[in-house]
Every structure is written in C-alpha cells, then in structure tokens.
Structure 1
Amino acid sequence: MSTIDRSLPAPAVAAPPRAATRERLLLAVLLTASFTLAVDFSILNVALPVVGGDVGLSLGALQWVPTTFALGAAGFTLLFGRVADLFGRRRMFLVGMALLGAASLVGGLAQSPAVLLTARAAQGLATAIVTPSALALLTTAFAAGPLRDRALGLNGALMAAGFTTGAILGGVLTDVLSWRWAFFINVIVAAAVLAVAPRVLTESRPAQRPRLDVGGALAITGALLAIVFGLTHAETTAWTDPATLGALAAGVVLLMVFAVVEQRTAAPLVPLHVLRNRTVAVSNLAGVLAFATETSLVFLLTLYLQDVLGYSPLVAGLSFAVLGVGTVVGGALGPRAIARFGRRGAIVGGFVVQAAATATLVALGASGGWMALLLAATFAGGVANLVAIVGFMVTATGALPDDEQGVATGLTSMSQQVGITLGIPVMSTIATAGLGAPTAAHVLGGVTTAIAVNAAIALAAAALVAVALRPERD
C-alpha cells in the first residue's frame, strides 16, 4: 500500500470562500439598487394628495407625479441598456445611482410643482440607466446555471416586492415623518451603494465596442415615450380621448419605423437575430403580462380596501405585507421550479396558479370578514407570480450570449416597466366602466369584474407560453 506524501501542500480551499464573499457583496449592491428603484414606482402613490397640497399641485395634475417617473423609466430603458454595452455597465450603473441620489435630494427639497416633477423625471431616467446595467452586471458575474438562476430569482423577488413595499413605506413615512422622506431615503441608499460599488463591481462590456444606432435609439425611445404617455393619459381621461389615441398611434408608427431602421443599419440597437428570436420575444411578452397583472391587482385591491371597506391608506398599505412575503418566497422557489419543471414549465405553472389565486378574489364581499381570503389569495398569487417572473428573466437573458446582455437586460427591464405602466390604466378602465355614483356597492362590482379579467389574462399568458415557447434542450 502506498503512503500519502504529507509534505505536499494541501489543496487550496481559501479561494472559493473569498470569491463567494465577493459575489455576495456584488449581489447585495445590485439587489439593493434594484429594490430601491422598484420601491420608487409606488412610494408616493398613497401620499399624492398630501404632496399636491404641499407643493401646489392641483388634483387634476397629481397624475404627473407617477407619469413623469414612468416616462423616463420605460422610455429610455432599452436605449441605456445598449449605451451600457458601449461605455461600460459598471460606469453606467454608477452614473445612474449618482443621478438617483441627486434627483431624490432635489425632490425632497422641492417647493414648487416644476421642481418636484423635474426631480421625478430624473428619478425615472436614473431607473432606466441603473436597471439594465445592474441586470447585465448580475448575469455576466454568474455563469448560466443554478447560481445565475438563484441570483435572478432574488432580483425578481425584490423588484416585485419593491412595488408593494413602496405602497407600505410611503404610507408609513407620510404618517410618521413626511412625504419628503420618500425622496430622502433614496439619498442615503444611493450614497451607501456608491461607497461600496466601486470596490466590488468590475467593468463589463463586450470585447468589441458596438456603434450606437442613433436612428434606432430615437425611434424606439420616441415610441416608448408615446405609448407610456398614452397609457397613463388614458387612466385619467379616456381611451377615446384624442390625446390618448394620438399618442398610442404615434407609438405604433414609431415602432414600425424602428423595425425598418433596424433592418437597414449595420449596427442595430437590437440586432435582427434578437428581434427574430422566438424565445426572447415570448418570454418578454410573458414578463409584460406578469408585471401588468400583479401590479394592477394591487391597485384594484387598494380600491377595495379603501373605497369598499373604508380602511385608511396606511392600513391598506400594510395589508399588502403578506403579498410582499409571497413575492420573496416565490423568488426563492423560482429557481427550484426551473430546475424541476424547466423554464417553460415554471412560467406556465406560475401563471396558472396565479390565475387560480386571483380568481378566488372575485368572491370578495363588502365586509371585513373577507380579509382572510384576500390575504391568503394575495400570498399564493404573489408566490406564483414571482415563479413566472423568475422564469421569464432566466429565459430571456439566457437566450443571448454575454456580449449581448446589455440588449437582453434592456429588453427585460423594458418589459417590466411597460407591464407596470400598462396594467393599472387597463384595469382602472374596466373597474370604473359605467360606475356612475361611486358607492361602495358600485366600486365592489367594478373591482371584482376587473379582478376576473385580471385572472383571465394570467391564464391566457400561461396558454401563450405553453404553445409558443419552445422547451429548452437539456
């Protein structure tokens, strides 16, 4: 029997823990930024009347507080995803976080509508810069497989939970301190991220720097701005309003212009093979529907809790805490579902369970005794929705190589922003159609009708993915 030579050094085991520690720090920085930006979508919603009174915004003009944010966040996301490929994802991430901190400081100190809306627009622009950069840094830091799936699961969970947390945090800050802390808290987070990020993030860009497709950038940015404006305008006026129809029509025309430009340019903003990739297209459409259905459900249930049950904005916001827990659980379960059922199976299963959970809410009545059903259904639906979102993000980003992750994450970020923007106007229109006198009974009828449509959309999304998305090859 041979003896073991104990003079040889033992295999090194210290490197993996050091690498794992660095990856955890990187993940913490990116997830903190993503969560903060997701919170910003909804943190001012419950405080809008107070905000308007303090800075002099009329009731009719309050819609511009969320609209200016949505215009920047959704309109420029795809553009800045590509810009990050050109100038470096780390660099753009840091620029975006600096802009977020500066814009939030200005917003917190605002004394006039012009200053407040400018700050809100700059926050949206910062979101468009940071979100695709952070996702691209995340997907290139972790190789495709279980580690990346877990990272994307956490990212998806925190971004979805951020929307709900924003509603809760906005109510708490407004009641306890001031709505201005909804801005100031971002200054603190941005400063902390900027202090740590340069030490843990390494620059990431393609080996060959692509050229910027100026024509395509102008066309797609104009299209998204027009569509987002049309959607948000419809919520406060009507879908038949000339401004709404004109904006949506302009958006469609510009999308067609974008497609033509991309076919003719040598260095397209979105390469033709990406536009023709069925996996990318179907998974991103699934992402739009996942975000549209769940965020609009929060809106519908806010109407139910406040206008039917008579709860305060703070209590209504706190009622969504269980949904936030469900999204975190769903983010953790998403990678496991993918490992067991595949990406397509995870997305389809998530949508089916979400549709079933949402459908039970049609039974909601006019008394507080229905809260148990609401809490149970929103928890289950939140878990299922996040499984679908994780499946969408893993599928959409995994379909493209590392040198196109700026494009991939720009598309997934755009899908998220458009989904959040799309869902509420559509569900608001359904819930308020023929409302007449806004009595509790009428509001309840409108809300439950919209909830049924919401569940049907989730089920249709499951069918679409099951039919159109090819199963991955193991």
Structure 2
Amino acid sequence: MSTLDQNTGRILPAGSQPRMTNRQRLMVAVLLTAGFTLAVDFSILNVALPAIGADVGFSLDHLQWIATSFALFAAGFTLLFGRIADLYGRRRLFLSGIALLGGSSLLGGLAQEPILLITARVAQGVATAIVIPAALSLLTTSFPEGPVREKVLGLNGALMAAGFTTGAILGGVLTDLLSWRWAFYINVIVAVAVLLIAPFVIRESTTNTRARLDVPGAVTVTLGLVAIVYGLTSAGESSWAAPQAWGPLLAGVLLLVAFWKIESRVPKPLVPVTILARRSIAWGNLAGMLAFATETSLVFLLTLYLQTVLGYTPFAAGLAFAVLGIGTVVGGMVGPRVVGKIGSKRTIVLGLLVQAAATTPLIFLDTNPEWIAVLLAGTFIGGIGNLMAIVGFMVTTTSGLPDEEQGLATGLATMSQQVGITLGIPIMSAIVTARIHTLGDETTTGVLSGITIAITSNVALCVITALAIALFLGPKRSTPSKLASL
C-alpha cells in the first residue's frame, strides 16, 4: 500500500521509507554543528585552566569559576528558554542564541582580566541554554515521529556526547599549538557561518496562539536549578558537609517545590504538571540525566587515573579519550536502529547494561601501564552503550507530544543532560576524597583505591537505573520500525 512522505509530500511505493529533502539535510547539518560546538564548550577550557589563570590573572582557588559560571547558566536557564521557544519562535530564538554565542566568545578571546572572562563564560552559558533546546525542538518539529526523527536524534546525541570528549582533546591541542584564546575564537567562526546559512534553511516553527509567560514559575525554576547546580559544584570543590554545598542545594529543592505548587495553580503554567506526571517524561529524563552523569564522571575518574597513577600528561590523557569519542559516534549510529527494532524503553535498558558491563573491568585497574588497553576497550564499548541509552532517552521524552510542546520537552531533556554532567563529577569526586581520607593515604595507592571504589559505584548506578527504567517507565512509545536511509 502506498504512503505519503510527510517530509517531501510525495506518494511513496509500498515498503519505501521517507527521505530527507536537500534543504532538510542542510538544516540538520547546521543545527547539529551548533549543538556540537556548544557541547565542546563544556570541556574545552578544562585542560587550559592553568594557562588561562596565568594570562588573565586568576588565583588558583578561583579558576573553577571559569567552568562553574558556564554550567550554572547553561543548566539553570535551559527550561525557561525551551518554553520561550515554544511561545515566541524557535528559529528566532536559535538565531539570537547563536549571535550571543559569537559575541560572548569574541569577548572571551579578547579578555585581559578575570571579570571580562567570567562575563563571557556566563553569556556562553546563557547562549547554550537558548540554542540547544531551540535546535532540538526545530529538529523534532521538522520530522514526524518515526525512523527519520529517531536517526536525527541519534546523530544529535552522538555529536553532543562526542563534543564533551572532543573538547578535552581540542583544548589541549589549541593550548599547546596556538593559544587557549582559540578555544573562544573557534566559536566566533562557527557562529558567523551558522548565521549566514541558517536563515535560508531553517523555517520558523511555533504555535499560532500566544500565551503569557508564567513569570513566577520561570523565576522559581530558574533560581532553583541555578542553586542546585551551584550546590553540586561546591560539593565537588569542598565537601558535601560544607554550607556552600548543602545551603544552595536545600534552597534549590525548596524553590523547585514552590515551582511545582505554582504550576499546579496558574492557568497557563510554564511546565504543565500533567507533562511532568507522565512516566515517559519523568522516568525518561531521569534515565538521560543518569546516563550523562555516569559517563562524564567516568571520564573524570579515568583522567585522574591516567594523570595521577600512570603519569600521563594532560594532552596524552585527552588523546586517550578519542576512543571513547569514536564509541559514542558508533552508538549514535547504532542507537536509532536498535530503537526501531526493540523500542526506546528497551534501548535505554540495553544501553545502560552494556555500559555497565564494559565499565566493570575498570574496577580492577592498577598501576600496571598495560591496563591502558583494557581502559581503551572498556571506554569504546561503554561509549556505544551510553549513546544507545541517550538515543532511547531522547526518543522517549520527545515522543507523543504536540509540536507546541516540543520546546518544553527538549528544554527538559537538555536540562537533564546538563544537570547530569554537573551532578556526576562532584559525586564521584566526593567518593574518591572520602576513601582517601578513610585510608589516610594521599599517595598513588590511596588515590587508586578511591578511583576504583568510585568506578564500582558508577557501574552500580548504571545497573540500578536500568532496572528502574525496566520496571517503571511503562510501555514504550515508539513502535519498532525499519530505519530510514538518509
């Protein structure tokens, strides 16, 4: 029986699969390039922090604000801007965010004093909160639910995860060969290219009805998320018992409770409680948050292992994670096919279990340099599993919703991603630190013991999450289907 291709408007012969138009291909390339660039920004400056501190005048105890200021605003404002995109235009917001990214990156590259650099990083964080949910919702509203959308989301997930790893490698290369300032200037080049092309290939996608923005809800959820991210970051830098850690965390929780109460009472809520109550949204976003938390924190643990235990340079440690980057790309390509065959829920479960199985051998790391082979194999396979779970999470949390709520859905998904990235490292850092203090051993032996216990916790978290999703997520929303060829 013939079918209508909703992407091209053509009648397809029986058994044929829909394909993208040339304009859609270029649009996807532009949106994915923007998302990849912003994912790189999460980690590109980490290796360069000492050089930045020396050039700009940061004291050692204030260096972390170069990363923290970005994470605070990227995670805290993403839900707000995701909803604004629904109400006032996704294309318009996307282009505004790219322009802000270009301007803030130019400011960061030219900065000669700490306040200007921090201002640039804050603006980059806000640009991230604007661009990523807008780009994701443009992708999901441009393709109907089905194999093409699943494959596009798979590519997006692969590039977002690979971007985090690429940032660590690229930061070391740029700092060694050119200057850390090129970590900012590259964004300017990308932003200009996107602004030149995007207006011709991206069409506006928004509802015809204009609702008033829920200001009380927007204020409470934004402040709540900022407080929680700040508390998590502070916990990783000091301890969970420190007032600067538990104080903001408590304030954040209270603000989110207030947000929930507001959303249940206002006529036009920022986030309808009916959406938050859906199992596909609640459990799907939990799975995504923990998938990002476990993998990014594992990168932190293995970086610590490579540099502290095996004596690798930061640049060599960054290169070691190129294998993980390849694994995430493979996982992004495989994930949509798995979703098409077994559904998004089972893909999440399978991906997390593969990640856990691949990470398990790393529990037994020791001081023998030959363990690098096991580490590379484990991170490659684990990267595939992790991206399978992320693709399943993205399909689950963006399916079954009308177009006018896609910005909200992608905002929630982006928030889960960014909170997960921020959440994992302080938790694993706290485990390592607690073990070192328990042993009273700050030598390589004590650090290695802390790393292996943290990796054990990482594996356990993957397994527990997989079991929870299997039990509580409910029926999968995407039906198995044959995947399209792009």
The equivalent residue for 1:464 is 468
Among the aligned pairs, what percent are the same residue? 63
Post-superposition offset of 1:17 = 11
The equivalent residue for 1:440 is 444
The equivalent residue for 1:136 is 137
CA distance in 2, matches of 1:245, 1:12: 59
Contact 1:139 1:405 in 2 (8 A): yes
CA distance in 1, matches of 2:330, 2:396: 20
Counterpart check, 1:297 vs 2:298: yes
Structure 1 residues 245 and 12: CA distance shift in structure 2, 3 A: closer
The equivalent residue for 2:155 is 154
CA distance in 2, matches of 1:326, 1:437: 35
Contact 1:262 1:269 in 2 (8 A): yes
For residues 380-400 of structure 1, give each alpha carbon's deviation from its aligned partner in whole angstroms, at most 9, with x where no partner exists.
Answer: 000000000000000000032
CA distance in 1, matches of 2:210, 2:196: 28
Post-superposition offset of 1:215 = 0.4
For structure 2, which runs of at least 5 residues remain unmatched after alignment?
Answer: 1-9, 480-486
Contact 1:296 1:427 in 2 (8 A): yes
The equivalent residue for 1:210 is 211
Q: Tell me the SS of whatever aligns to 1:73.
A: helix
Post-superposition offset of 1:288 = 0.4
Counterparts of residues 332-371 of structure 1 (less than 5 Å)? 332-371=333-372
Contact 2:396 2:476 in 1 (8 A): no
Partner AA of 1:285 in structure 2: L
Counterpart check, 1:379 vs 2:383: no
Post-superposition offset of 1:18 = 10
Post-superposition offset of 1:210 = 2.2
Counterparts of residues 195-206 of structure 1 (less than 5 Å)? 195-206=196-207
Question: Aligned pair count?
Answer: 462
Counterparts of residues 23-422 of structure 1 (less than 5 Å)? 23-422=24-423
The equivalent residue for 2:482 is none
CA distance in 2, matches of 1:18, 1:449: 48
The equivalent residue for 2:7 is none
CA distance in 2, matches of 1:378, 1:72: 30
The equivalent residue for 1:449 is 453
Q: Tell me the SS of whatever aligns to 1:400.
A: coil
For residues 423-444 of structure 1, give each alpha carbon's deviation from its aligned partner in whole angstroms, at most 9, with x where no partner exists.
Answer: 0000011112142453221111
Structure 1 residues 49 and 468: CA distance shift in structure 2, 3 A: same
4+ residue stretches of structure 1 with deviation over 2 A? 16-19
CA distance in 2, matches of 1:166, 1:399: 34
CA distance in 1, matches of 2:413, 2:18: 31
Post-superposition offset of 1:339 = 1.2
CA distance in 2, matches of 1:168, 1:463: 34
CA distance in 1, matches of 2:253, 2:432: 26
Contact 1:343 1:471 in 2 (8 A): no
Q: Tell me the SS of whatever aligns to 2:26.
A: helix
CA distance in 2, matches of 1:207, 1:348: 38
Partner AA of 2:369 in structure 1: G
Q: Tell me the SS of whatever aligns to 1:270.
A: coil
* TM superposition score normalised by structure 1: 0.96
CA distance in 2, matches of 1:21, 1:99: 28
CA RMSD of aligned residues (A): 1.5
Contact 1:206 1:404 in 2 (8 A): no
The equivalent residue for 1:7 is none
Q: Tell me the SS of whatever aligns to 1:368.
A: coil
Contact 2:18 2:148 in 1 (8 A): no
Contact 1:342 1:471 in 2 (8 A): no
Q: Which has the higher helix share?
A: 1
For residues 14-53 of structure 1, give each alpha carbon's deviation from its aligned partner in whole angstroms, at most 9, with x where no partner exists.
Answer: xx99962111101000000000000000000111111111
Partner AA of 2:401 in structure 1: L
Partner AA of 2:40 in structure 1: V
Partner AA of 1:460 in structure 2: I
CA distance in 2, matches of 1:456, 1:12: 49
Q: Tell me the SS of whatever aligns to 1:226.
A: helix
Post-superposition offset of 1:236 = 1.0
CA distance in 2, matches of 1:384, 1:134: 25
Contact 1:279 1:399 in 2 (8 A): no
Q: Tell me the SS of whatever aligns to 2:315.
A: helix
Contact 1:308 1:444 in 2 (8 A): yes
Contact 1:85 1:210 in 2 (8 A): no
Contact 1:140 1:405 in 2 (8 A): yes
Choose 335-344 or 132-141, whichever is displaced more: 335-344
